[in-house]
Structure 1
């Protein structure tokens, strides 16, 4: 029997990640019965891509109740701007509906508490779309830890690198304002914190961090002109912008694809949406988030995480090491090889027993977004959990809360110059509520 789904936030991400696959791959299991968004133009764009949705009714941002009453969905899919997630999650839970939400589940610890409390009272449950767990290398790392290869985990080193194309895109968009995204320690790093939490099976307790805005904003060293209000599509000084010209030539301009909105036209009046442009200048003074972090996290059970992320580097990827009482796991990934101007190796995992010889583990890679994670996540969401997998992988509200809580603790620590405990941010949600099982 098909489940009925309503989409809150008709973003580019929503169309690529959910709507397209639901209409094609999972058409026998899903039916889209409602679309909700703040911008009517997005409905036009969506329906021009998917003729199957021509008759699906559209709703404005304050018409959630009407949508539920008229369309009668079973599940709400939340894929709008980060700061809108909490509104529709709470409205859905009030009506005992299940929720699938893009990460981050919310943008503050306070809103995470509201969601956890609402879910406790509701018949509905929240699932957070942490697709990175499903990347084959990441799942294999989880299995190695579960197999006891490293013993008791004592420390983790994770260094994440975002290249100048991807990194600068966050500073062209709504992400650049903390009120919309919670900052990149939440919008982006919640992915990474969730991976570590899941890999080692522990909860973060305390965070100390440093952070800075080194590359973007008006003080950026490569700012060609200190002037607010510019957009790449119409900027007169973009030939002097190293970030823009890294991907463009004088005769061919490359505009960053916005994962949540889409591309912007260089011609005024031809933008794909009426209320938003994703090509604001990366050197604007309204930017109030950091682009560089160095973080230490302490977990229950004693494990320690050393984490860093940088949003303006020559290539993209990460380095990971998990240390334990029986050995060490290492891996490195380059995950934007199409933009890396040099050959990159296929990712493998190296296992070093504490006493013994190194073992290199090759993993069968899959096609699809987020290292092959997206298609596998969608199967679990719409077909049910894989019965052949021996460990839980779908994320719930508590997973979402701890990833966001760590991210908020990061920027609080940066601002206050002190360690920040997770119970300050989340008020010990694990003690009050353990979340609902998928």
Structure 2
């Protein structure tokens, strides 16, 4: 059994890692320490999981004390994105293994620090890119490995985030680049990791455009230009299309937060100390982009055409992978309960370069992220499935390239020039 200490008691930490350790993998993992900047978060975690009542809590500057006292085998890093690098580097300096939520860090420079620290350590870093584990995504990997596509030449990936999910990023700390790296890092790093894993190529150069169209003070949807509002108490929310899309007049609670407050039933103004997760999406401090298009060149010649939009009528993606022997196409509708029309079951269309179309159906599985979360959890807590014929668990270099690609996107959009990944990572 391995002993796990948690740095960042977020709802993600509780739902994705702490809960499964206690409820599904008690013979494999034990939580022995909880570190967070907010003691309220630690208290809520212990309320949710009474078996953790006697587990000690620690302040952010007590990492070394925590390690000395509880002697963990693994450090779980699940706090705000900008805290990841600090705890990963400290853990590696103590020769401890690290499991971190994506993104591994918020800047390529911090990723380089992590790579250097890991080289000197007996510990290793795992980045929990759970999108890899979805059955549909594993099937795409297998089709490519079978050689049915041939050498991959180009990828088209268009990602759509609906008004519910998209606006939530602008209600929370994610809207500040210094905390999240911007959404091309916090969110798109997921997608850049998927592509590099599918095609087994590393990104070399990025050129991109980005803009803030929907959120911030100049949005055409802003009912009144005024800072400091919160959805739960806003006096103009009935004139806010983002609020009224998901609420009726009789449901006057705050917009549902997909982190701590809503899931736990804790009032949104009591889930954190000095912070609310329902900040106004039209505040003037919002300067990150909500729309991107990008072209990425890879080291074996493949090209990625990528776009993402954080305010659309439905959520999902369209994907096409082209190769010297064929083409793969698929479309996913995510969160069907929020899509205002019937959605088909996701399939994969395979087109040989010289032949007829074949439609492939994939077994659906329960669990978050398209059924990927439970399989990832098994790999983390029970060990990697030895029957799987290809690597899937992400390491630090995967995490670094995903972050660097995301940073290159927003830098290119701001500086109007191509950005070399090697320059960002110092490789």
Normalising by the smaller structure, the TM-score range is over 0.9
Alpha-carbon distance in structure 2 between the residues aligned to 1:5 and 1:350: 42
- Structure 1 residue 264 displacement after superposition: 9.6
Question: What TM-score do the two structures reach when normalised by structure 1?
Answer: 0.96
Aligned to 1:198: 197
Alpha-carbon distance in structure 2 between the residues aligned to 1:306 and 1:143: 22
Alpha-carbon distance in structure 2 between the residues aligned to 1:43 and 1:202: 41
Matched, 1:345 2:321: no
Contact 1:3 1:75 in 2 (8 A): yes
Structure 2: segments with no counterpart, 5+ residues: none
> Over the residues paired in the alignment, what is the CA RMSD in angstroms?
1.4
- Structure 1 residue 52 displacement after superposition: 0.6
Deviations 1:250-269 (A, max 9, x none): 11135444444333999989
Aligned to 2:400: 401
Secondary structure at the counterpart of residue 224 of structure 1: coil
Query: Aligned in 2, Cα 1:399/1:266: closer, same or farther, shift over 3 Å?
Result: closer
Aligned to 1:308: 307
- Structure 1 residue 201 displacement after superposition: 0.2
Alpha-carbon distance in structure 2 between the residues aligned to 1:117 and 1:303: 28
Deviations 1:127-169 (A, max 9, x none): 0000000000000000000000110000000000000000000
Query: Aligned in 2, Cα 1:222/1:264: closer, same or farther, shift over 3 Å?
Result: farther
Query: Aligned in 2, Cα 1:274/1:158: closer, same or farther, shift over 3 Å?
Result: same
Question: What TM-score do the two structures reach when normalised by structure 2?
Answer: 0.98
Contact 2:261 2:267 in 1 (8 A): no
Matched, 1:148 2:143: no
Aligned to 1:263: 262
Aligned to 2:109: 110
- Structure 1 residue 424 displacement after superposition: 1.3
Contact 2:268 2:276 in 1 (8 A): no
Contact 2:268 2:277 in 1 (8 A): no
Deviations 1:173-216 (A, max 9, x none): 00000000000000000000000000000000000000000000
Alpha-carbon distance in structure 1 between the residues aligned to 2:175 and 2:81: 12
Q: How does 1:75-154 map to 2 (within 5 A)?
A: 75-154=74-153
Contact 1:255 1:264 in 2 (8 A): no
Query: Aligned in 2, Cα 1:268/1:204: closer, same or farther, shift over 3 Å?
Result: closer
Query: Aligned in 2, Cα 1:14/1:28: closer, same or farther, shift over 3 Å?
Result: same
Contact 2:131 2:190 in 1 (8 A): yes
- Structure 1 residue 275 displacement after superposition: 2.7
Secondary structure at the counterpart of residue 62 of structure 1: helix
Aligned to 1:366: 365
Alpha-carbon distance in structure 2 between the residues aligned to 1:51 and 1:134: 30
Contact 1:153 1:323 in 2 (8 A): yes
Secondary structure at the counterpart of residue 89 of structure 1: helix
Contact 2:84 2:105 in 1 (8 A): yes
Alpha-carbon distance in structure 2 between the residues aligned to 1:266 and 1:89: 31
Query: Aligned in 2, Cα 1:268/1:165: closer, same or farther, shift over 3 Å?
Result: closer
